[in-house]
Structure 1
């Protein structure tokens, strides 16, 4: 009889613990976090450039070259080899998750290229890959906002 009483008390204790645990569990609704639209407006300068894997940053002076983005338009300052050679319009393939940027020089045809938009050492960067003219030459420009 004593064994049954202990068994009964243990079962009662387990049921009480299970009830308390189930009552303390709350179903949490996941927070919906809206992805912000990527904003590339501003003035960008080249901080690193390569052609076919060769570093050009120490060979060519990129300090004065700028790509200025404003609400769907861009302009180039102190032109260097770039995807386009004149000012015009730009667009992103997806405003929240862009993987491609399209430049349309005034009077020209649209030219699209892949790009990334990472934060490196606390600063936003644009990495643009392109081949102006000769498809055997592949340039990669890493740009950082100047303002």
Structure 2
């Protein structure tokens, strides 16, 4: 009786220990570059948490981001004269400080500048993006909220 019980336990252990390994989704471990390609328009601007959107023609400010495959490539900016923005480049190149989990956008062309993201994480194919900059002194903080067109 003990031998039969032992044999049954041994056979049961064999079947339990021989289960197939679980399949891992190969795409589940891939990290993708954040994609913000397309045209973005300003919907609001705050200075030290005070809405100043109505003081300038901020709605004329648009940023268009272009990718080369899945790599950030170039940008174009259009705006009405006199609308404040951290740089005056009409076009150039852009990239992120980290392609998967960015906290800054770096712009380069006839000048170079980096702008922090006010709201992280930046989500691929999301519809909103906020950029935070300081003008003049560290106490003057501006947040530009963009909406994807």
Q: TM-score, with normalisation over the residues of structure 2?
A: 0.70
Return closer, same or farther for 1:54/1:61 CA change in 2, 3 Å cut-off. same
Q: CA deviation at 1:66?
A: 1.3
Dislocated runs of 4+, deviation >6 Å: none
Contact 2:47 2:142 in 1 (8 A): yes
One of 101, 123, 132 as aligned partner of 1:118 = 123
Supply the RMSD in Å over aligned alpha carbons. 2.9
1:19-72 CA-partner distances (Å, limit 9, x unpaired): 111112425456254333333332101234322223344666533321223442
Unaligned stretches of 5+ residues in structure 2: 67-72
- 1:1-147 aligned at under 5 Å gives the runs 5=1, 7-26=2-21, 28=23, 31-32=26-27, 33-57=29-53, 62-70=58-66, 71-78=73-80, 80-92=83-95, 93-104=97-108, 106=110, 108=111, 110-115=112-117, 116=120, 117-118=122-123, 123-146=126-149
Contact 2:106 2:115 in 1 (8 A): yes
Contact 1:128 1:140 in 2 (8 A): yes
Unaligned stretches of 5+ residues in structure 1: none
Question: Which shows bigger deviation, 136-145 or 49-58?
Answer: 49-58
Q: TM-score, with normalisation over the residues of structure 1?
A: 0.71
Contact 1:76 1:87 in 2 (8 A): yes
Indicate the structure (1 or 2) with the bigger Cα radius of gyration.
1
